[in-house]
Structure 1
Amino acid sequence: QGRVGEGPCFDAARTSKGERQFRIADFTDEARRWPKYVPEARKLNLGSMMGFLLFTEDEDLGALNMYSYRPGAFTDADETAGWLLASHAAVAFSSARTHAQLQEAMGTRHTIGEAMGILMGRLRLNEDQAFAALRRYSQDHNVKLRDVAAQVCERGGLP
Structure 2
Amino acid sequence: MDDDQNIVAAVRASMEKVVREFANPRSVDATLESITTAALTTIDGVDSVDVLLIDEDGAYRSAGSTSALASDMSQLQHRLGYGPCIDAAVGETLVLSHDLSDEKRWPDYSAAAAAAGARSVMSLQLYTHQGRPSCRASLNLFSNSPNAFEPDSQAAAVMLATHAALALVAHDREAQFRSALASRDAIGQAKGMLMERFTIDAVRAFEMMVKLSQDSNTKLVNVAAQIVAAGPER
Alignment map for 1:6-155 (pairs within 5 Å): 6-15=82-91, 19-30=92-103, 32-55=104-127, 58=130, 59=133, 61-155=136-230
Q: In 2, Cα distance between the equivalents of 1:23 and 1:158?
A: 63
Asked whether the equivalents of residues 123 and 140 of structure 2 are also in contact (C-alpha less than 8 Å), the reply is yes
Letter aligned with residue 52 of structure 1: L
Q: Distance in 2 between matches of 1:57 and 1:119?
A: 37
3-state SS of 1:3 partner: helix
Letter in 2 for 1:38: S
Shift of 1:158: 9.3
> Are positions 1:3 and 2:76 aligned together?
no
Q: Which has the higher contact order (CA 8 A, sep 6+)?
A: 2
Kindly indicate whether the alpha-carbon contact (under 8 Å) linking 1:50 and 1:67 is maintained by their aligned counterparts in 2.
yes
TM-score (norm 2): 0.61
TM-score, reference length from structure 1 = 0.87
CA distance in 2, matches of 1:146, 1:44: 48
**Conserved? CA contact 1:21–1:50, under 8 Å:** yes
Measured after TM superposition, the shift of residue 135 of structure 1 is 1.7
Task: Provide the residue aligned with 2:27 in structure 1.
Answer: none
Cα shift at 1:5: 1.0
Q: Residue in 1 aligned with 2:45?
A: none
Between structure 1 and structure 2, the one with the greater Rg is 1
Secondary structure of 1:134 counterpart: helix
Identity %: 38
Shift of 1:73: 1.0
| Paired positions, count | 155
Contact in 2 for aligned 1:56/1:91 (Cα 8 Å): no
| Mapped partners of 1:43, 1:28: distance in 2 | 8
Change (3 A) 1:105 1:122: same
Moved more, 48-57 or 68-77: 48-57
- Runs (4+) of structure 1 exceeding 4 A deviation are none
**Any gaps of 5 or more consecutive residues in structure 1?**
none
CA contact (8 A) 2:129 2:169 kept: no
Deviates more, 1:42-51 or 1:54-63: 54-63
